[in-house]
């Protein structure tokens, strides 16, 4: 008897109906065909571990994070911003935004500005650790950028998965909590602590390197350097000045089929969860802003692991969070 898993393609998240709905929608991106999708053979439980974001800020420390319903995630952007629209801003603030917008380039991408400081695409695998990969990703790039290329370090996502007890390891995490961990504790290098949660198990915190001869050195953020931005012009200014940032957004049922183009939610797509990635830049498509992002689903997904997404789609661009590297 074969032990090979049997996939029910009709009920699997990667199915022909999803692909056909995308093709019928008036969207500016192309999906993977089912047979080419790198996630086609994951069972639904493994598939759901691709989305590990629980929210922006932890409001209730006593809540059961692992069982947080997706419907509650739909409102976490408004929870953060207080549901205020652009009309909330005062007139002089709008004038400042216009002046700022005039000084910013129409396109920017750290991969071309400082390629040596952008780390390769990684793979969180079957662990809901997007929050840890996005956090260590933007910080290691900022260490390199802010040092003029002299500090190049591959930071350990496993450190956060195993040792950040304010989050929930492979069961998910909160962006503000992850940045607080970078500020209060810092993380070691990947050389010190390699990624071991590929199968979805949150391994225990070691407080030492895999190889005892490797120095146990922490890399973190300066105190009081956490920054949460909700305005696209402020976000662009921060990206260009300080380096990549971490974005939160909702995952719709069509997103995992993304292959190439500029993503926007297609017809009939529905919310499956929430996700965190790092953003490297922006550009415009016929006057419409879109962001350039690096995912952590390996290079077989999307545009060699990257994707482009229109501003505001699935909440993308509504919240950016970061901190500044501590060189002391």
Task: Write the CATH number for 211.
Answer: 3.90.70.10
- For residue 174, being part of any structural domain is answered with yes
Of the candidates 125, 192, 295, 323, the residue annotated as catalytic is 295
- For residue 216, being part of any structural domain is answered with yes
- For residue 15, being part of any structural domain is answered with no
Quote the pLDDT of residue 309.
Answer: 99
Please tell me the total count of domains within the chain: 1
- H or E element that contains 40: none
User: pTM of the predicted model, to two decimals?
Assistant: 0.87
The single residue listed with the structure tokens 């017809």 is: 267
Q: Which of 155, 159, 156, 157 is nearest to 206 (CA)?
A: 159
Quote the pLDDT of residue 210.
Answer: 94
Q: Give the length of the chain.
A: 328
Which residues of 33-188 form beta strands (DSSP E)? 53-55, 108-109, 173-174
- For residue 26, being part of any structural domain is answered with no
- For residue 159, being part of any structural domain is answered with yes
Q: Based on the residue annotation, tell me whether 130 is a catalytic residue of this protein.
A: yes
Quote the pLDDT of residue 52.
Answer: 72
Which segments in the chain show pLDDT lower than 50? Answer: 1-2, 60-92
Convert the pLDDT of each residue in 101-160 to its tens digit.
678 999 999 999 999 999 999 999 999 999 999 999 999 999 999 999 999 999 999 999
Of the candidates 117, 130, 192, 323, the residue annotated as catalytic is 130
The single residue listed with the structure tokens 């953060």 is: 80
Quote the pLDDT of residue 75.
Answer: 41
Rounded-to-integer distance, Cα 33 and Cα 17, Å: 11
Quote the pLDDT of residue 6.
Answer: 59
Give the domain extent around 287. 33-58+75-322
State how beta strands 320-322 and 245-252 pair: antiparallel
Q: Based on the residue annotation, tell me whether 295 is a catalytic residue of this protein.
A: yes
- For residue 328, being part of any structural domain is answered with no
- H or E element that contains 307: strand 306-310
Compute CA distances 69 → 65, 153, 269, 270, whole Å: 9, 36, 18, 14
Of the candidates 163, 180, 275, 323, the residue annotated as catalytic is 275
- For residue 215, being part of any structural domain is answered with yes
- For residue 214, being part of any structural domain is answered with yes
């Amino acid at each position: 008897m074969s032990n090979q898993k049997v996939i029910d393609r009709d009920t699997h998240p990667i199915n022909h109906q999803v692909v056909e709905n995308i093709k019928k929608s008036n969207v500016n991106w192309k999906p993977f065909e089912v047979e080419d999708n790198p996630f086609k053979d994951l069972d639904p439980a493994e598939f759901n571990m691709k989305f590990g974001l629980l929210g922006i800020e932890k409001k209730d420390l006593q809540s059961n994070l692992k069982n947080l319903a997706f419907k509650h995630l739909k409102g976490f952007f408004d929870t953060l911003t207080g549901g205020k629209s652009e009309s909330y801003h005062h007139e002089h603030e709008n004038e400042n935004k216009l002046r700022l917008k005039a000084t910013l380039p129409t396109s920017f991408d750290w991969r071309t500005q400082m390629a040596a400081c952008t780390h390769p695409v990684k793979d969180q695998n079957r662990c809901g650790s997007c929050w840890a990969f996005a956090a260590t990703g933007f910080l290691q790039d900022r260490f390199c950028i802010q040092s003029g290329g002299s500090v190049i370090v591959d930071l350990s996502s496993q450190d956060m998965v195993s040792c950040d007890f304010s989050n929930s390891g492979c069961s998910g995490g909160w962006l503000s909590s992850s940045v607080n961990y970078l500020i209060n504790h810092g993380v070691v290098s990947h050389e010190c602590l390699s990624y071991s949660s590929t199968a979805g198990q949150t391994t225990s915190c070691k407080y030492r390197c895999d190889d005892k001869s490797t120095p146990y050195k922490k890399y973190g953020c300066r105190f009081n350097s956490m920054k949460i931005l909700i305005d696209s012009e402020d976000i662009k200014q921060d990206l260009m000045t300080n380096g990549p940032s971490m974005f939160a957004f909702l995952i719709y049922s069509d997103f995992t089929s993304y292959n190439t183009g500029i993503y926007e939610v297609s017809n009939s797509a529905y919310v499956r969860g929430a996700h965190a990635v790092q953003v490297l830049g922006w550009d415009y498509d016929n006057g419409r802003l879109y962001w350039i992002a690096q995912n952590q689903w390996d290079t077989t997904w999307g545009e060699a692991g990257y994707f482009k997404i229109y501003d505001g789609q699935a909440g993308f661009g509504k919240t950016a969070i970061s901190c500044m590297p501590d060189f002391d």
